[in-house]
Amino acid sequence: MSLKIENIKKSFGTQPVLKGLSFEVVEGEFFFLLGSSGCGKSTLLRIISGLCDPDEGRIFFDGEDVTKLPAEKRGVGLVFQNYALWPHMTVYDNVAFGLQVRKLRKDEIADKVAKVLRDVRLEGLEKRYPAELSDGQQQRVALARALVIEPKLVLLDEPLSNLDANLRLEMRSELRRIHKELGLTMIYVTHDQKEALSLADRVALLHEGKLEQLGSPTELYKRPQSKFAAGFLGETNFMQGKALKLSGTNWEIETLWGTSLIPQDQAVGVESGKALYISVRPEDLRLTGEESAPNFQAKILENNFLGDTTQLVLESKGERILVETLSSSHLKVGELIKVWPKVEDIMIFGE
Amino acid sequence: MRKVPFYVFVSALALFFFAFLIFPLFGILKSSVWDGEHLTFAYLAAVFQNQNIRASFFNSLFIGVAVTILTTFLSLPLAYFFTRTTFPLQRLFQGLVLLPMIMPPFVGALGMRYLFARCGSVNLLFGTDIDWLGGGGLFGVVLLEALHLYPIMYLNVTASLASLDESLLESARMTGAKPLTIWRKIILPLFLPGYFAGAILVFIWAFTDLGTPLIFEYRNCLAVNIFDRVTDMHSNAVGYALVLLMLAATCVFFLISKTLSKDVRVISTSKGAQGTAGKKLNALTLVFVYAFLAAVTILALLPHFSVILVAFSDKWFMSILPESYTFRHFAGAFTHKLAVSGIRNSLFLSSAATACDIVLGIMVGYLLARNKGWWREGLDALIMLPLAVPGIVLAFSYLSTFSGTRLDPLKDPTALLIICYSVRRLPYIVRSVYAGFQHIGEAMEEAGRSLGAGFARVTREITLPLLSTHITAGAILTFAFCMFEVGATILLAAREWDYPIAKTIYTLNMRLGDGPCIASAMGVIGMVLLGSCLLISGALLGKKMGEIFRGSSN
């Protein structure tokens, strides 16, 4: 099912939470709403589910306006952050509920419940009560309950936030498998950028009730369209710089490593003669390179061993710079080293 | 909730409260200042100028304040011992100290007279001639009410203390704060709101109690004064002014306590932080604790003991204990015409009022817990208002408002008694249901809706089953309290065959011969009934029992 959000606005009291959001989700997409807490992502999910009415704007399912349709008529599967499993019902009853509401025959219900419990790998736990399940199992029941009604759209509200790190990784691949197998349109709310980057077809980054950027994980990571987006997804260094002039399709900018040419499509809001931020990811700073390529000198302040990689904290002309590198055990704190930025992966933002 | 049923329900609720709370109370106000043609303050002036009334007002105030202070001193150490320390037999004592709740104070008064009257057992035993019940029964009233009401105070204080997480105090200590500063800045601000919420319930109960003074024949207090004026209420408006005075006083005190108990939302701390496991006590302290607990328990159970003694006594006159014992009075309680109809009436009235409160309680609880409209606070205040309106005041207002109408209590008090009980006890059931709604959380219902279930189905299959514990517990308590509602009962039930238990006990007690003994036997039966009710609802609610007896719903 495709989904269209059109200029959705919502306030709680005098506090605007959503300030006019519009975007579309195509059929079969694994779509992420990403943002820090309070950015309005959960509210938007509740509005899509019908549990909450927007103040303004419209919502379309497959081109049909459902803004006024109550939640129980939308046929959307919803997985709650705290699962909201009914403690007085067994796993079977929890999952069967949506089918009973739809007045399916008993044997049909039994078949569908059995199938969905197989899908989420919970066979044999039908008679247990939620209190007798582990966190991960509860999470699967919540998912099964949402999936069993064969919704065309599944909404997930931070579904993995209550799980420990290992279980979260496991459930992430489970979700990917289920999405692939069932071919559902899924909208997933999270504040965890790693979840979004690893699972999403496309991500909508929300900030203070507005759409900050919409695109594939790679686009968001490699070509963030704002300083906020660059900072929110992954780690990055913001260095001071200055725009000198636009020559052809490139900006001539003043940087730590001298004057540099940056293609226009890597620049956002840059103006001639004005200061700007240069965003360079820690992994885009190399410790080796050709002498003729752009580079700068920096002093090592810290050398932090992280297991698979090493994080260096450097200082150059008053800027504090993070570098991620594979092997650096020979580097000593206080030592001066040369650093080569990957200019093709740099983004620049006007102040 | 859909818009239409929502408005229908809110309007129906508003209408009910207007007809059976606001309008009758307004009638009291009107009759106190309106002589039929003019605005007049003559009745109010008469009240204030009458020395007897002034004295009775201050006596009632004394009873209220003294009972509140006494219950505080009884319950503070108890709450501290039970929440902050551990010692053997703790659970047993925790149960024992709640026992006084199972007997209304006016029943206890039946027995205590035999022990503490001028020629009662205690004086006979020690060969003394001390007026233990002092001041014409005043001390007796205070003592009996304090002994009955301290569990309510105790439940509130305990809940308040329990919410004072040890980590809050530890983090204060880590800042280097001195113990006194911690008391002043952390403990008191967190503790006092809960305390005031309980204190106001105790105060209003004691300030307006009618049953206990009547049994002790202590007539010089406000409630008895009002009771005495019921007979000539239609010819003498001073009664109205008196009722207004009582209502105004309770409302003022209620508002004061509301202000004092406002706005502390205790955030439940993380899982690991509930390190309130009590201190172990050393031997000396342990002896002191046991001595205190034993003293409280014995004192608190004295009224029960005395009533049981009277109920089983065959002959008891000028002797320390009864000369012989008999089961006769229990047989009497089950055969005496008045007693049988009393029990039957009370069972019927209380069941009906409870049923009414269950329906209203669920709906109001839902509105309060699941809606955020501007009217929410108003509704909350309206529902809690009966806590500030004494039973005797409400009953008096019904008598004046509905005389001569189809609901005239002189013709048949059934309907008004049911309504009166419902209105009076609604706050308790609403609170219980509200706590339930808070506990289950809105997501449970939303999950049902997202799967396609409508409002009715979600209510039937998800909300109600999850709420059932809270509903049952609230209902049992409501039922128990209706069974022993005194003030309203004594005023509204006029004909003998309409008498509920409370008035039967009062009437039997005044009869010569076996009257007081049969009344005591009925008291014992009531005690067993009330005890079982509280036991069941306590088992259902667990630690949340305290929440029901608190002065604010949040």
pLDDT computed for residue B269 by the predictor? 38
* Other beta carbons less than 10 A from residue B479's beta carbon: 25
Q: CA-based Rg of chain A, rounded to a whole angstrom? A: 24
Report how far apart, in Å, the C-alpha atoms of A114 and of each of A118, A132, B55, B281, B452 are.
6, 19, 77, 56, 20
What is the C-alpha separation between B476 and B102, in angstroms, rounded?
13
Rounded to 5 degrees, what angle do the CA atoms A201, A205, A211 make? 120
CA distance, residue B467 to nearest chain A CA (Å): 10
Rounded CA separation B165/B184 (Å): 16
Q: Is residue B275 helix, strand or coil? A: coil
Element (H or E) spanning B313, and its range? strand B313-315
Please write the tens of the pLDDT for every residue from B225-237. Answer: 888 887 777 677 7
Query: At A152, phi and psi to the nearest 5?
Result: -90, -15
In single-letter form, the type of residue at position B179 comes to P
What is the per-residue burial (b if ≥16 Cβ within 10 Å, else e) of B374-403? eeeeebbebbbbbbbbbbbbbbbbbbbbbe
pLDDT score at B272:
36
Burial class (CB in 10 A: 0-12, 13-18, 19+), A258: exposed
How far apart (Å, rounded) are the C-alpha atoms in residues B493 and B399? 10
φ and ψ at residue A79, rounded to 5 degrees: -110, 120
What is residue B262's predicted lDDT score, i.e. its pLDDT?
65
3-state SS of chain A is CCEEEEEEEEEECCEEEEEEEEEEECCCCEEEEECCCCCCHHHHHHHHHCCCCCCEEEEEECCEECCCCCHHHHCEEEECCCCCCCCCCCHHHHHHHHHHHCCCCHHHHHHHHHHHHHHCCCCCCCCCCHHHCCHHHHHHHHHHHHHCCCCCEEEEECCCCCCCHHHHHHHHHHHHHHHHHHCCEEEEEECCHHHHHHHCCEEEEEECCEEEEEECHHHHHHCCCCHHHHHHCCCCEEEEEEEEEEECCEEEEEECCEEEEEEHHHEECCCCCCEEEEEECHHHEECCCCCCCCCEEEEEEEEEECCCCEEEEEEECCEEEEEEECCCCCCCCCCEEEEEECHHHCEEEEC
Interface of B with A in 461-480 (CB under 8 A): 461-462, 465-466
- Give, in order, the Cα–Cα distances in Å from B334 to each of A28, B257, B421, B499: 75, 44, 25, 15
Cβ burial B231-249 (10 Å sphere, 16+ → b, else e): eebeeebbbbbbbbbbbeb
- B-chain CB neighbours of A51 within 8 Å are 446, 449-450
How far is Cα B454 from Cα B90, in angstroms, rounded to an integer? 48
- What was the pLDDT predicted at B545? 57
Contacts of A88 in chain B (CB under 8 A): 465-466
Chain B nearest C-alpha distance from A94 (Å): 10
- Could you tell me which of A13, A3, A98 has the C-alpha nearest to residue A47? A3
Structure tokens at B213: 């003074």
Enter the pTM of the model: 0.75
Residues of A in contact with B447 (CB under 8 A): 78, 80, 84-86, 145
Residue B332 corresponds to which tokens in the numbers above?
A: 């009497």
Q: Do B450 and A87 touch (CB under 8 A)?
A: no
> What percent of chain A has pLDDT above 90?
56
- Each residue's pLDDT tens digit in chain A (351 positions)? 999 999 999 998 888 999 999 999 999 999 999 999 889 999 999 999 988 899 999 999 999 999 999 888 888 999 988 888 888 889 999 999 989 888 899 999 999 999 999 988 899 999 999 888 998 899 999 999 999 988 989 999 998 888 888 888 888 888 999 899 888 999 999 999 889 998 999 999 999 999 999 999 999 999 999 999 999 988 899 999 999 988 889 999 999 888 889 998 899 988 888 999 999 999 999 988 888 888 999 999 998 888 888 889 999 988 999 998 887 667 889 999 999 999 888 999 988
Model pLDDT, residue B171: 67
ipTM (interface predicted TM): 0.74
Give contacts of A 51-70 with B, CB under 8 A: 51, 70
Q: What are phi and psi of A190, to 5 degrees?
A: -155, 160
- A82 contacts in chain B (CB < 8 Å): 441, 443
What is the signed CA dihedral for A87, A92, A98, A103, rounded to 10 degrees? Answer: -130
> Is the separation of the CB atoms in B487 and B425 below 8 Å?
no
Q: What are phi and psi of B486, to 5 degrees?
A: -100, -60
**Residue keyed to tokens 């790998």:** A121
How far apart are alpha carbons A265 and A222 in whole angstroms?
12
Checking phi first, is residue A33 left (phi over 0); if not, alpha (psi -120 to 50) or beta?
A: beta
B413 in Cβ contact with B498 (< 8 Å) = yes
Interval B144-173: pLDDT, tens:
889 888 888 888 788 777 767 766 676 667
Which parts of chain B have pLDDT scores under 70? 1-4, 135-136, 163, 166-168, 170-172, 174-176, 234, 261-279, 512, 541-554
Q: What pLDDT, on a 0 to 100 scale, did the predictor assign at position A348?
A: 93
Which one, of B358, B459, B383, lies nearest residue B10 by Cα? B383
Please tell me the predicted confidence (pLDDT) of residue B492.
82
| Token digits of residue B373 | 């409209």
Q: DSSP label at B542?
A: G
Nearest beta carbon to residue A80 from set B447, B453, B461: B447
Q: Nearest-CA neighbor of B113 among B99, B126, B123?
A: B123
Interface test with B, best of A43, A72, A148, A157 (most B CBs within 10 A): A72
- How far apart (Å, rounded) are the C-alpha atoms in residues A243 and A224? 19
Residue (of B403, B429, B435, B432) closest to B416 by Cα position: B403
Give the per-residue pLDDT at B544: 57
